[in-house]
Amino acid sequence: MEKIFSVPLKGGAVTDVYTYSLDEIERELSSYPSLLAVFDDNSSFSYGRPLPEASLVLPHGEEHKNWGSVDAILSKAMDSGLARDSVFIGVGGGVILDMAAFASSVYMRGARCVLVPTTLLSAVDATLGGKTGIDYGGAKNAVGTFFPAEKVLICTDFLRTLPDSEYRSGLGEVLKHALLSADTKLSVFLAEERARILSRDPETVAEMIRLSLEVKISYITRDPEEKLGIRSALNLGHTFGHALESLHDYGISHGEGVAWGVVRALQAGVAIGITEREFAECGIDLFRSYGFADSFSVPEELFGRYFRTIGKDKKKKGGEVRFVLMEGQGRPVLMTLDEDTVRSAVIREA
Amino acid sequence: MEKIFSVPLKGGAVTDVYTYSLDEIERELSSYPSLLAVFDDNSSFSYGRPLPEASLVLPHGEEHKNWGSVDAILSKAMDSGLARDSVFIGVGGGVILDMAAFASSVYMRGARCVLVPTTLLSAVDATLGGKTGIDYGGAKNAVGTFFPAEKVLICTDFLRTLPDSEYRSGLGEVLKHALLSADTKLSVFLAEERARILSRDPETVAEMIRLSLEVKISYITRDPEEKLGIRSALNLGHTFGHALESLHDYGISHGEGVAWGVVRALQAGVAIGITEREFAECGIDLFRSYGFADSFSVPEELFGRYFRTIGKDKKKKGGEVRFVLMEGQGRPVLMTLDEDTVRSAVIREA
């Protein structure tokens, strides 16, 4: 057990991030007098030991990220007699963590929340910064709250049994962080350690998570509620990517969508003269070396639907959707893009 | 239009409270480029003019204070293309305001919120301090958030057409504030101006609302998220009262339940030697002069159910329900009460 970050958040809240072994997690779970542990059917399996008495196992998958699941959590919490000082513990990927945290944020107007990410994506993406939520009306995470977990327990043991596609999904977010970082430390690490990263060498993976979280933390602590336009930069690739995920009815993974979206943002940025060409090319090469750059394109006949989905994006301001583009290393900007620029970026030329 | 309070809240948020005429409210509603106005079928009627284009009229009543109604608000917001900087405007009693505010707090993880109370109860109780929510699993307001409105627009025109029972419900909360006040200004006002208050003389009512809000504000600004045990004092009468409301399937009004609960708390406090006898007697006399003190009692055969409902109270800490009792004027304390004390307070002797 090691505390690797203590992240100061709005209103004096702090999220402490620890690395834990599975045994330490089990001990932690048994230390709370009143708790509800929320798993999905994947994480309950990879946890590999008896679940705490007050537990709920939800079906996995983005299609269950809805009020019905949150309702099940709240209802179980109510039946188990949880109070406002009880602890909701989410153990799983981003879907479970977002929903467990959302449920904890609205139960009695806010109970306690501890998150145990079991996927690479959730370790680097869903656990820090307090974004909670569910999908709603066809839009991802359209309903939710800002509610930071008091603790995040990262356990790389969980990552060993992840399916390749799930691990790749996490790598998509890590690669995104490499571009957003003020320096090239993470980019260089990703380029040099690619073999060890892909073979999931535990120490290499732990270091990659740490470097990736460091970038995320630098953005969220400067803008905890996404009001200053700084934190919004973490949505690099998300506007392009979410709409692709929606087009595929969430049949492609989040990180896969984001990675694809980052490459689109780099290409769009070059096309309108915002992004340094060399930075974009290096970035796209890095994404390509991990197999991300050219994985999808939007068919011409679906572009209308794709573009309308973008119009539903949460990050609208004054009715306009703003994309995150990159000027260069660690220099994001928020911009609107016209339909033709979006079209050129998402439809691959023959 | 007059700004009567500017209430500082957690994290730099401020709720500005204004007195408005109906015309000024109409002008305000037409001033927002993107809004959704949420009414109930009472408030849409007493508004008495064409509703804004993006409006939703929900059925009135506590039995509709559930996710289904919030879902309807969110769904309408989504269909109307609302963004995070759009404004949700709740126009109605506490049920509508709590739900409109809850919906605004979770839409895109937090849109803007303006509240227009149309009942006395909601003017003095539901609009300040950011408590939002719905009933859940048989417990009142068991699911919700803390999310302060940016503006509260108080319009006494709405109060003239209120049914007597609804007006009385508001008076219950006002009387509660009189005991919690550091001074006896509000108590004296309520005793001396009773005739004008009961005949709803507009200026008298406006002054009563102002004095009542002043008390509420003094509690919430010292403890915005109800974490220090100060704000909890505003729940005086609520633990007794909510369980009574639940016993009656919410067939009695909130203020009626609270007022009854305050008298129970005074009696229980005297019984266990916490409350100054003279303070309690004066307080009960004031409540009695408004017809509140002896309105209900819990039948012996329903006491078990009543007591179990109390056990579900949100204000539990470490598994124990804490009641708000009064030592004397403006001096609340939080205490557990044993079953016999509760029994003696709620079952009227023959």
Q: What is this model's ipTM?
A: 0.84
**A197 near A291, Cβ under 8 Å?**
no
Q: Which of A84, A106, A235 to mutate to test the interface with B (most CBs of B within 10 A)?
A: A106
pLDDT digits (tens, 9 = 90+) for B79-100: 999 999 999 999 999 999 999 9
Is A78's CB within 8 Å of B10's CB?
A: no
∠B284-B285-B291 over CA atoms, to 5°? 90
**Model pLDDT, residue B318:** 65
Between CA B114 and CA B125 the distance in angstroms is 15
How far A263 CA sits from the closest chain B CA (Å)? 26
In the predicted model, is pLDDT for residue B295 greater than 80?
Answer: no
**Model pLDDT, residue B294:** 80
Residue type for B325, please? L
A75 neighbourhood in chain B, CB within 8 Å: 137
Q: How many CB atoms lie within 10 A of CB A348?
A: 11
Between CA A99 and CA A102 the distance in angstroms is 5
Between CA B105 and CA B99 the distance in angstroms is 10
Is A110's CB within 8 Å of B146's CB?
A: yes
Is B144's CB within 8 Å of A109's CB?
A: yes
**Model pLDDT, residue A314:** 62
At A252, the pLDDT band (50, 70, 90 cuts) reads: confident
At B317, the pLDDT band (50, 70, 90 cuts) reads: low
Is A318's CB within 8 Å of B141's CB?
A: no
Q: A262: which 2 tokens?
A: 């980052």
Between CA A157 and CA A205 the distance in angstroms is 11
B11 neighbourhood in chain A, CB within 8 Å: 10-11
- The mean pLDDT of B320-337, rounded to a whole number, is 94
Contacts of A296 (CB under 8 A, 6+ apart): A244, A252, A260
Which residue does chain B place closest to A318, by CA atoms? Answer: B85
Between CA B113 and CA B86 the distance in angstroms is 9
Q: Which of A67, A84, A109 to mutate to test the interface with B (most CBs of B within 10 A)?
A: A109
Contacts of A106 (CB under 8 A, 6+ apart): A74, A145, B106, B133, B143, B144, B145
Q: How many CB atoms lie within 10 A of CB A338?
A: 8
What is the maximum alpha-carbon separation in chain A? 61
Residue type for A253, please? S
Is A34's CB within 8 Å of B319's CB?
A: yes
Q: What is the pTM of this model?
A: 0.86
Is B144's CB within 8 Å of A319's CB?
A: no
A8 neighbourhood in chain B, CB within 8 Å: none
- The mean pLDDT of B161-182, rounded to a whole number, is 94
Is A139's CB within 8 Å of B78's CB?
A: yes
pLDDT digits (tens, 9 = 90+) for A286-336: 999 999 978 788 999 999 999 999 987 666 666 688 999 999 999 999 999
pLDDT digits (tens, 9 = 90+) for A87-142: 999 999 999 999 999 999 999 999 999 999 999 999 998 688 899 999 999 888 99
**Model pLDDT, residue B71:** 98
Phi, psi of B200 (to 5 degrees): 60, 40
At A246, the pLDDT band (50, 70, 90 cuts) reads: confident
How far A93 CA sits from the closest chain B CA (Å)? 20
Q: How many CB atoms lie within 10 A of CB B212?
A: 27
Is B109's CB within 8 Å of A83's CB?
A: no
**How do the residues of chain A divide into helix, strand and coil, expressed in percent and rounded to 5?**
50, 20, 30
In the predicted model, is pLDDT for residue A2 greater than 80?
Answer: yes
Q: In the A/B pair of chains, how many CB contacts fall below 8 A? A: 108
Is A83's CB within 8 Å of B314's CB?
A: yes
Q: A63: which 2 tokens?
A: 């299609």
In the predicted model, is pLDDT for residue B350 greater than 60?
Answer: no
E strands of chain B, at which residues? Answer: 2-8, 14-19, 35-40, 55-58, 87-92, 112-117, 134-136, 139-143, 151-154, 316-317, 320-321, 323-328, 331-335
Residue type for A198, please? L
Which of B11, B81, B83 is the closest to A10 by Cβ? B11
**Model pLDDT, residue A349:** 62
Strand order, beta sheet including A2-8 = A2-8, A14-19, A151-154, A112-117, A87-92, A35-40, A55-58
Residue type for A332, please? P
B317 neighbourhood in chain A, CB within 8 Å: 83-85
**Binding-site residues on chain A for chain B (CB distance < 8 A):** 10-11, 33-34, 67, 71, 74-75, 78-79, 81, 83-85, 105-110, 131-133, 136-137, 139, 141-146, 225-226, 311-312, 314-319
**Model pLDDT, residue A244:** 93
**Binding-site residues on chain B for chain A (CB distance < 8 A):** 10-11, 33-34, 67, 71, 74-75, 78-79, 81, 83-85, 105-110, 131-133, 136-137, 139, 141-146, 225-226, 311-312, 314-319
Is B314's CB within 8 Å of A109's CB?
A: yes
How far B145 CA sits from the closest chain A CA (Å)? 4
Which of A67, A145, A315 is the closest to B67 by Cβ? A67
In the predicted model, is pLDDT for residue A83 greater than 80?
Answer: yes
- For residue A236, the 8-state DSSP code is T
B319 neighbourhood in chain A, CB within 8 Å: 33-34, 81, 83
- The mean pLDDT of B312-327, rounded to a whole number, is 79
| B256 vs B314: which has the higher pLDDT | B256
- The mean pLDDT of B122-141, rounded to a whole number, is 89
Which has the closest alpha carbon to A194: A183, A208, A177? A208
A145 neighbourhood in chain B, CB within 8 Å: 105-106, 109-110, 145
Which residue does chain B place closest to A317, by CA atoms? Answer: B85
Q: Which of B79, B106, B312 to mutate to test the interface with A (most CBs of A within 10 A)?
A: B106
- The mean pLDDT of B308-326, rounded to a whole number, is 81
The β-bridge partners of B136 are B139
DSSP-derived pairing of the beta strands B139-143 and B134-136? antiparallel
Between CA A301 and CA A138 the distance in angstroms is 20
